[in-house]
Amino acid sequence: MTGQGPRGAKPRRRLSGRNIMLYGTLLFVSLYYLLPLWVMVMTSLKGMPEIRMGNIFAPPVEVTFQPWVKAWAEACTGLNCDGLSRGFWNSVRILIPSVILSILVASVNGYALVNWRFKGSDVFFTVLIFGSFIPYQIMLYPIVILLREMGIYGTLWGLVLVHTIFGMPILTLLFRNYFSSLPEELFKAARVDGAGFWAIYFRIMLPMSLPIFVVAIILQVTGIWNDFLFGVVYTKPELYPMTVQLNNIVNSVQGVKEYNVNMAATLLTGLVPLIVYFVSGKLFVRGIAAGAVKG
């Protein structure tokens, strides 16, 4: 951090002291970030004897995919021994309706807040944003009662509703900010042509906002897939999402610890958000920045 200013032209000497310091630090930091991923992959490909004798950072001498098979299809939680696949499919079944419903509701909210303001609409929006800071713990039990009254406590649909509710603040903010950046003339022209609330939403707003829908999908897929608390509180053991089942497998006190199976299971659970992250690239960054920069 000494020498020339950071905004100047690229320094000509590649191996200046400054550059060695700079890239050295960045590489060292990258090592800290990459280490757990490396350890996860390597451990999941080793047999237990090798793990007991060896070094967790070393690559496997003998590669085996047995831990992956076991984690997916045979690992036990309680009496069930059908592996993480159960949690995976539960998570998929929770994820798809939650993502669709939460984005649909929030995009309509954003649209109504920008183009169809009514008395008090901004008050609701402010409460919504403040609501996103309230610790979930304070709303956990009232929601249990609500879901029970509706007859969906402990079902997938109960959890879908919870994800829709708690995804609403950030997604509504995202859509509101995006829709308010669109030219108002478009909306006015459509109104003059006689288009109503839903016609404008489906024919004009929706086709024009595909990028923001992608950002919202990324945000929700990673957020809902990674949820643990709501899964524990609002579903039954047969319907536990993957994160909950993973924790139950790895932190179970019974039996001999099989670290290779545990790491394969951990990787399997992290795979969906990781794929989303690596495929989406800059859109992921845009999604998290949208959460940080309030409109």
Contact 160, 101 (CB under 8 A): yes
Question: Shortest Cβ distance from residue 47 to another protein (Å)?
Answer: 14
Q: Which of residues 171-200 bind another protein (CB under 8 A)?
A: 172, 196-198
Among 49, 55, 192, 256, binds another protein (CB under 8 A): 55
Q: Which of residues 197-216 bind another protein (CB under 8 A)?
A: 197-198
Per CB under 8 A, 99 contacts another protein: no
R_g of the chain, CA atoms, integer Å: 24
Per CB under 8 A, 279 contacts another protein: no
Per CB under 8 A, 133 contacts another protein: yes
Question: Shortest Cβ distance from residue 74 to another protein (Å)?
Answer: 19
Q: Which of residues 62-81 bind another protein (CB under 8 A)?
A: none
Q: 81 or 274: whose CB is closer to another protein?
A: 274
Binding-site size, another protein (CB under 8 A): 96
Among 69, 76, 108, 182, binds another protein (CB under 8 A): 108
Q: 212 or 263: whose CB is closer to another protein?
A: 263
Per CB under 8 A, 57 contacts another protein: yes
The angle that helices 121-131 and 156-181 make with each other, rounded to 10 degrees, is: 120
Distance, in Å, from the CA atom of 34 to the CA atom of 38, rounded to the nearest integer, reads: 6
Among 69, 76, 100, 105, binds another protein (CB under 8 A): 105
- DSSP summary character for residue 132: T
Phi (first) and psi of residue 98, to 5 degrees = -65, -45
Closest Cα to residue 233, out of 163, 135, 133, 144?
144
Distance, in Å, from the CA atom of 44 to the CA atom of 267, rounded to the nearest integer, reads: 8
What six digits make up the tokens of 185? 């003339």
Question: Shortest Cβ distance from residue 73 to another protein (Å)?
Answer: 20
Question: Shortest Cβ distance from residue 151 to another protein (Å)?
Answer: 17
Q: Which of residues 245-274 bind another protein (CB under 8 A)?
A: 246-247, 250-251, 259, 262-263, 266, 269-270, 273-274
Contact 63, 45 (CB under 8 A): yes
Stretch of residues binding another protein (CB under 8 A), selected from 64-72, 130-138, 182-190, 204-212: 130-138
Distance, in Å, from the CA atom of 119 to the CA atom of 98, rounded to the nearest integer, reads: 29
Contact 143, 234 (CB under 8 A): yes
Distance of CA 132 to the CA centre of its chain: 16
Per CB under 8 A, 28 contacts another protein: no
Among 47, 154, 237, 291, binds another protein (CB under 8 A): 291
Per CB under 8 A, 114 contacts another protein: no
Distance, in Å, from the CA atom of 132 to the CA atom of 210, rounded to the nearest integer, reads: 25
Residues paired with residue 154 on neighbouring β-strands, in sequence order: 235
What six digits make up the tokens of 99? 């993502």
Residue keyed to tokens 């524990």: 232
What six digits make up the tokens of 131? 């609501």
Among 25, 80, 180, 181, binds another protein (CB under 8 A): 25
Per CB under 8 A, 13 contacts another protein: no
Among 97, 100, 186, 228, binds another protein (CB under 8 A): 228
